[in-house]
């Protein structure tokens, strides 16, 4: 597969677990801003040749990497984390790679331990997802599970409180205690959380809004929720 765009490629080169087969650039001067390539092969190619290998309209900034997909993280690694305050993101059939990438970016900014998705009805690792994540795909583990309800039960067994975001939530997000281990659960762009997913949540909350229009893009809702969780867990005064 190909990763493209400066930030996505730079972070991939910094990731010791990412297997990189070749670096493709349109100008040798681009190497000056990248980490040392070591033994990784690189090649200068024509812009048209690069674009023929990428999705139509891809904003590649003159660089792409031929890579192997990352290994899928297993949820059990969270049990080894002794941090008193933790946060993970759970996505219930969120299918747009741009949204998942943006969620990963916010997760990296606010220190989330993982983003958890289903194997089906969710985007595969791709250059589009990585470009939207702006390098965060190399930082935040992306976990894929066969059964989301079982994954939520596993999280609860590890001490996580599952907080579902829903317009029908009876409380606002900032009205509940988000310290400790928190799993923020978001439903798909159209239908929201599935019934079984809702049943597995300890709380269902909504975001405060100014008026009757209350619909936010999933990545925006995740960013706001991550910030509030981060604020409470770090005891930040605003």
Residue 62 in this model has a pLDDT that exceeds 90: yes
Outline where DSSP puts E strands in the chain.
2-4, 20-25, 41-44, 63-67, 86-91, 114-118, 142-145, 161-165, 171-172, 181-186, 203-206
Yes or no: domain 75-233 corresponds to CATH 3.40.1280.10: yes
Range in 47-56, 170-179, 188-197 the model is least confident about? 188-197
Confidence of residue 224 (pLDDT cuts 50, 70, 90): very high
Kindly report, as residue ranges, where domains of CATH 3.30.1330.30 are found in the chain.
Answer: 2-67
Residue 86 pLDDT level (bands cut at 50, 70, 90): very high
Average pLDDT value for the chain: 93
- Inter-residue contact 68 to 147 (CB < 8 Å): no
CA angle, 60 then 62 then 66, to 5°: 70
**55 in Cβ contact with 35 (< 8 Å):** no
Decide if pLDDT at 96 tops 70: yes
CATH code that applies to domain 2-67: 3.30.1330.30
Q: Say what the pLDDT of residue 237 is.
A: 54
Span 22-43, pLDDT tens digits: 999 999 999 988 999 989 999 9
Cβ atoms 229, 87 nearer than 8 A? yes
Structure confidence at residue 168 as a pLDDT band (50, 70, 90): confident
**Beta-strand pair 203-206/114-118:** unpaired
Domain with CATH 3.40.1280.10 in the chain: 75-233
Structure tokens at 141: 């583990």
More confident residue, 191 or 233: 233
Question: Does residue 115 register a pLDDT over 80?
Answer: yes
CA dihedral for 112, 91, 227, 220, sign (positive or negative): positive
């Amino acid at each position: 597969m190909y990763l493209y765009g400066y930030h996505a490629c730079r972070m991939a080169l910094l990731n010791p677990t990412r297997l990189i087969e070749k670096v493709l650039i349109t100008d040798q001067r681009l190497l000056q801003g990248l980490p040392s390539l070591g033994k990784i092969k690189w090649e200068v190619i024509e812009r048209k040749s690069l674009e023929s290998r990428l999705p139509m309209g891809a904003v590649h900034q003159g660089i792409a990497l031929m890579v192997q997909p990352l290994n899928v993280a297993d949820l059990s690694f969270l049990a080894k984390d002794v941090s008193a305050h933790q946060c993970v993101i759970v996505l219930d059939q969120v299918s747009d790679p741009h949204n998942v990438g943006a969620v990963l970016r916010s997760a990296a900014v606010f220190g989330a331990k993982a983003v958890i998705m289903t194997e089906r009805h969710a985007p595969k690792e791709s250059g589009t997802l990585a470009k939207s994540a702006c390098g965060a795909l190399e930082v935040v583990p992306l976990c894929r599970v066969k059964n989301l309800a079982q994954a939520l039960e596993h999280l609860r067994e590890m001490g996580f409180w599952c907080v579902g975001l829903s317009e029908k939530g009876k409380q606002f997000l900032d009205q509940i205690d988000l310290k400790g281990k928190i799993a923020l659960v978001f439903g798909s762009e159209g239908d929201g959380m599935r019934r079984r997913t809702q049943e597995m949540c300890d709380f269902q909350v909504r975001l405060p809004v100014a008026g009757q229009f209350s619909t936010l893009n999933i990545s925006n809702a995740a960013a706001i929720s991550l910030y509030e969780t981060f604020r409470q867990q770090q005891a930040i005064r605003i």
